[in-house]
Structure 1
Amino acid sequence: MSEFKRIPPEEALALRKQGAVVVDIRDQPTYANAHISGAQHLDNHNIADFIRAADLDAPVIVACYHGNSSQSAAAYLVSQGFSDVYSLDGGFELWRSIYPSEIASSDSQ
């Protein structure tokens, strides 16, 4: 069985540009306020649908606030059959400090 990998923001940006799916596991209001551009919100209410619809071999990057909770979520996705899972080191907060132009909000569509 494979394991998730920890990934710094620089590698995550490159992987995202190659088509990796980014999922944000922070709470919905926080996600709506600001998230990595193109990231999907993932929580206990929609994770089953996400897993059912996902390509289990496509790369998935899991982001949280600071890179701690994302490790548990990444391990869970691996346990559900995903083969290429990453936990974003430093989480959204580090990403925002490095790539402020790569941030979106649900209000700025």
Structure 2
Amino acid sequence: MSEFTRIAPEEAQKLREKGAVVVDVRDPQTFASAHIRGATHLDNTSIASFIDEADLAKPLVVVCYHGNSSQNAAAYLASQGFAEVYSLDGGFELWRNAFPQEIAVNSND
């Protein structure tokens, strides 16, 4: 199954508070400069090991710049066996406006 649900930042934050995993598919430099606190960066070189080591039962929120690329990544991750996959509508840019206190800047947090 490759189904996922598009959600708003407020819904994503509620999922985070309940232990959802957040993955960011933006380019490495952009992720390094600012990202959702606690997010994991995923790219073509890290996705296989991420899937191998992940708890497929945990909710997974996929983030990109504006909410477009994350939909493709979310569909792929859902097809890999994740039970509950979400794509963040509006992406990191909308998240930054909604939850500026939840942004890690120039750090690995």
1:13 maps to: 13
2:23 maps to: 23
The answer to whether the Cα contact below 8 Å between 1:62 and 1:85 also exists between their aligned partners in 2 is yes
1:67 maps to: 67
Cα distance in 2 between the residues matched to 1:32 and 1:2: 29
* TM-score, L = length of structure 2: 0.95
Displacement after TM superposition at 1:108 (Å): 7.3
Residue correspondence of structure 1 range 71-86 to structure 2 within 5 A: 71-86=71-86
Unaligned runs of 5+ in 1: none
The alignment covers a number of residue pairs equal to 109
Residue identity over aligned pairs, in percent, reads 67
Displacement after TM superposition at 1:2 (Å): 5.5
Write the letter of the residue equivalent to 1:23.
V
1:35 maps to: 35
Cα distance in 1 between the residues matched to 2:13 and 2:65: 17
1:47 maps to: 47
* TM-score, L = length of structure 1: 0.95
